[in-house]
Amino acid sequence: MITIELLKEEIASIIRNYNSKGWSPATSTNYSFKFENSEIFVSKSGIDKSQFSADDFMTIDENGKGTGDFLTSKPSAETLIHCVLYELFPETKVILHSHSVYPVLISQTHENSVEFEGYEIQKGFDGQTTHEATVEIPIFNNTQDMIEFSKILKENKDRISNHTFIMRKHGTYAWGKNLFEAKRHLETLEYLCQCKYMSKVD
């Protein structure tokens, strides 16, 4: 039986691992989880992700404001995105965000979405069963206006069918019913973006 403290440790370890891959430079990115049906835990703002620890999560309400011991703490600027994803996809328990390079490069040459077909690893997205399918991942323009971005996510819910999306020249979000699944979705998209960019095939 996993405890809340163990889950914090596991996610913190993955955050440090992703940092070592260059996916969260300069204190960027944010992460969250829900333990069973509890409140949302989100990464605090401004932490060097190579040093991220289990103590660097804070609780928030459904509007992204700090709760309990964290009423005056500052959550990440993108916290509202996490709140909206939990609302739109109620099965979600873990959300991961990356500022890795390949999705950013892909977003510079694709308009509203990027398609992948023929890759075995497409099956890493829950619901995909064969490499013969075409997988479409939406790309949304970056913005500092999180209320506006939340609206765009809600309007485009039906297009977000593979548990992940790209923010243009910014990064990726991926989520899942548990940490294992969220991690698989994020890493699947990272791999696909790298293949597509390096092969220079649209």
**Contacting residues toward Zn ion, per CB under 5 A:** 171
Select 98 or 122, whichever has its Cβ closest to Zn ion. Answer: 98
- Residue showing the smallest CB distance to Zn ion in the complex: 171
In the complex, what is the shortest distance from the CB of residue 23 to Zn ion, in angstroms, rounded to a whole number?
A: 11
Please give the biggest Cα pair distance in the chain.
Answer: 50
In the complex, what is the shortest distance from the CB of residue 75 to Zn ion, in angstroms, rounded to a whole number?
A: 13
CA atoms of 87 and 98, how far apart (whole Å): 21
Select 4 or 105, whichever has its Cβ closest to Zn ion. Answer: 105
3-class secondary structure, 178:
coil
In the complex, what is the shortest distance from the CB of residue 81 to Zn ion, in angstroms, rounded to a whole number?
A: 9
- Please, are residues 39 and 61 in contact by the beta-carbon 8 Å criterion? yes
In the complex, what is the shortest distance from the CB of residue 158 to Zn ion, in angstroms, rounded to a whole number?
A: 24
3-class secondary structure, 54:
helix
Select 67 or 143, whichever has its Cβ closest to Zn ion. Answer: 143
Nearest in space to 131 (alpha carbons), one of 139, 142, 120? 120
- Please, are residues 94 and 36 in contact by the beta-carbon 8 Å criterion? no
Select 66 or 171, whichever has its Cβ closest to Zn ion. Answer: 171
- Please, are residues 98 and 190 in contact by the beta-carbon 8 Å criterion? yes
In the complex, what is the shortest distance from the CB of residue 46 to Zn ion, in angstroms, rounded to a whole number?
A: 13
What one-character DSSP code corresponds to residue 61? -
Select 81 or 192, whichever has its Cβ closest to Zn ion. Answer: 81
